[in-house]
Structures are given as C-alpha cells and as structure tokens.
Structure 1
C-alpha cells in the first residue's frame, strides 16, 4: 500500500532523515520504533505531506505523493493522528469529529461512521457536548483517533499514541488500534513503547538517528538481543 524509497529530509542544514526505505503492506500493522529524536515523527510528517523530502519517492497505492499537499493526501485515504493529539480545545468533542469528515459529502456515511466511532470510544459519546480541552489525556487521544477515522482512512498513521498515558489506558488504546486494523484499515505506528508496538505489529523497523538499522517481522525484532537491550528493558 505504501512504499517509501530512499527519502532524505532536511530541517534547514540538519539532515534529519538519511535515505530511509520502508514498506507498509495492505491490511497490516507496521511499527516504527526508536528513541526520542531518531526521526520517527519526521518520517510520518513527510509521508502525510507536512514536509517535503529533498530526494526519494513516497508511493501510496502506486502514486508518488512526495510534495502533494497534505489535505489532498487526506482525500486519498491517508490520515495522520499527530503526536500530542492536537485536538481543537475550544470546540466540542462532536465538532472535532465532524471536522474529521470535512472533505466528505456523504451524509449517511458520515452518520454511520460517527456511530462507529462512538461504539469504539463510548467515553466520547458520554462527553460529546463537552469542550475537548477539558478532556483527560486518554480521552483526547481517543478523540484524535476518532477524528482521523471520520475521514474514512485506508491507511492510518499514528504518532506516539501511548505518550503520557497511564498503563491501563495504553492497553485500551492498543486494543482499539488492533480493532481498527481488523476492520480493514492499514496502520503505520510510530511508538516509543516498543513492547506494546511489537505486541500488535506484523512487521517493524528500528530507526536510529535518521537511518533504519533493523527491520523484520515484529516477532523477530522482539526476540533480537540488540532490540531487547536498547528498547525492551533487557
């Protein structure tokens, strides 16, 4: 579904992404793990059109989308849930979800997807008229994911969904990511919590200082000594 070929990305003079290539097969969960500052978020921002690679290709369903504006990429079925959630704090939960569907015109489909989001995240239904800025961190993460689902994505990019959440909530969020995938959405997951990421992923890549240093099935990486020492606490 997505193939990134040898992309190089710069912040001014800083060479942030150094020739990385990766594949996200249709229907799978692919995890991108690595420590803080490794370039994981930059990779996602480049795929979703918020940054432009200096060189390389980003092929989504066979089309090179490198340099395509972000809103057009969303319209093609590729949507990102940003790190830090970024809900619209002064708008209600319902208004945030409606914004997720801003490119769509199919009222019946939007209503059905709204029901689906409320089934996945019952807490959002309870708080639908509440201002999003008053939600807890976990509820805001659910809202950010629900808002992305309202665009009906074929490929969902998730940037650090567990960040700042209590362990019980992390488990809940990861169960929902699995559920989203099982209902037909392909997922590219960026996550510092390598244990959780590898427990639900099909395949994974390790990113270190802008380069991919390891790749394989999630099982292979979970049992790799180098990965265990660096990311899995021994």
Structure 2
C-alpha cells in the first residue's frame, strides 16, 4: 500500500532523515519506535506532504506522492493526525469533524461517517456542540482522530496519540486504534509508549538519528534485548 525508498529529508542544512525505507501492507498496523528527535514525526510529515524529500520515492497505492500537495494526498486516501492534536479550538466538535470531510461530496457517506465517529467516540457525541478548546486533552485526541476519519482514509498516520494522557485513557485510545484498524483502515503509528505500540502492531521499525536501524514483527522486537534496554525500560 505504501512503499518508501531511500528518502532523505533536510531542515535547512540539517539532515533529519537518512535513506529511510519502509513499506506497509493493506490492513496492517505498523509502528515507528524511536527516541525524541529521532525523525519519526518528520517521516509522517513527509508522507503526508507537509515536507518534501530531497531524494527518494514515496509510492502510495502505486502512485508517487513525494512532494505532492497535502490536500491531494488526503484526497488519495491518506490522513494524518499530528502530534499535539491541533484541533480548531474556537469551533465546535461538530464543526471540527465537518472540516475533516471538506474534500468530500458524498453527503450520505459523510452522514454515515459522522455516525461511525460518534460510535467510536461516544463522548464526542455528548460534546458535539461544545467548543473544541474546552475539551480535555484526551477528548481533543479523540476529536483529532475522529476528524481524520471523516476524510475516509485508507491509511491513517497517527503521531503520538497517547502523549500527555492518563494511563487509563491511553488504554482507551489504543483500543479505539485497534477498532479503526479492524474496520478496514491501515495504520502507521508513531508512539513513545513502545510497549503499548508493540502490543497492537503487526510490524515495527526502529528509527535512530534519522535512520531505520531495525525492523521486524512486533513480536520479534518485543523480545529483542536491544529494544528492551533502549525503549521498554529493560523489562
């Protein structure tokens, strides 16, 4: 579904990604693990068109998307939930969700997806007339995910969905991620909580200082001593 080959990405003179390659099959949950500043968010931004690679290729469903405009990439079926949620705080929950569907014309489909989002996130239904800025961090995360789903993505990029959330909410968010995947959406997940990420992923890539240094099934990485020491607190 997504094939990335040897991409190099720079911020000015600083190289943020160094010959990164990865691939994602339809229906998978693939997770990127790495320390802060390793290049995980940069990779998601490059896939979704917010950054342009200097070299290398990004092919989504057989078509090159490297350097294409972000809205064209959304139209193709790829949505990005950025780190830090980025909801429109002075708009209501409902208006935020409507914005997620702004490229769509299928009114019936949009209505169905509203129902689907409210099924996944019942709290969003309760808060639908409330300004997004008044929601808790966890609710804003749910809204950001719901808004991305309103674009009807085939592939969903999630950047740090558990960041700053209480442990109980983290469990809820991860359950919902699994449910979104079971409903047919492929997921690329960037997550500091390596333990949780590996518990729901099929495969994982480890990024260190802009390079992919390790990849394998989630089980393989879960039982790797190297990963345990670096990212799983040595357990």
The yes-or-no answer on 1:166 pairing with 2:173 is no
- 1:53-202 counterparts in 2 under 5 A? 53-202=53-202
The one-character-per-residue Cα deviations of 1:47-87 (angstroms, maximum 9, x if unpaired) are 00000000000010011110110000000000000000000
Structure 1 gap segments, 5+ residues each: none
How many angstroms apart in 1 are the aligned matches of 2:106 and 2:44?
28
Partner residue of 1:28?
A: 28
Instruction: Report the Cα offset of residue 106 of structure 1.
Output: 0.7
How many angstroms apart in 2 are the aligned matches of 1:222 and 1:137?
29
Instruction: Report the Cα offset of residue 145 of structure 1.
Output: 0.2
The yes-or-no answer on 1:225 pairing with 2:234 is no
**Secondary structure of residue in 1 paired with 2:103:** coil
**Secondary structure of residue in 2 paired with 1:145:** helix
How many angstroms apart in 2 are the aligned matches of 1:216 and 1:207?
12
How many angstroms apart in 1 are the aligned matches of 2:64 and 2:213?
25
The one-character-per-residue Cα deviations of 1:76-119 (angstroms, maximum 9, x if unpaired) are 00000000000000000000000000000111110110001001
> What is the aligned residue count?
234
How many angstroms apart in 2 are the aligned matches of 1:141 and 1:197?
16
The one-character-per-residue Cα deviations of 1:14-51 (angstroms, maximum 9, x if unpaired) are 00000010011110000001010000000000000000
- Aligned-residue CA RMSD in angstroms? 0.3
Partner residue of 2:19?
A: 19
How many angstroms apart in 2 are the aligned matches of 1:228 and 1:169?
24
**Secondary structure of residue in 1 paired with 2:212:** strand
The one-character-per-residue Cα deviations of 1:133-189 (angstroms, maximum 9, x if unpaired) are 000000000000000000000000000000000000000000000000000000000
How many angstroms apart in 1 are the aligned matches of 2:154 and 2:19?
26
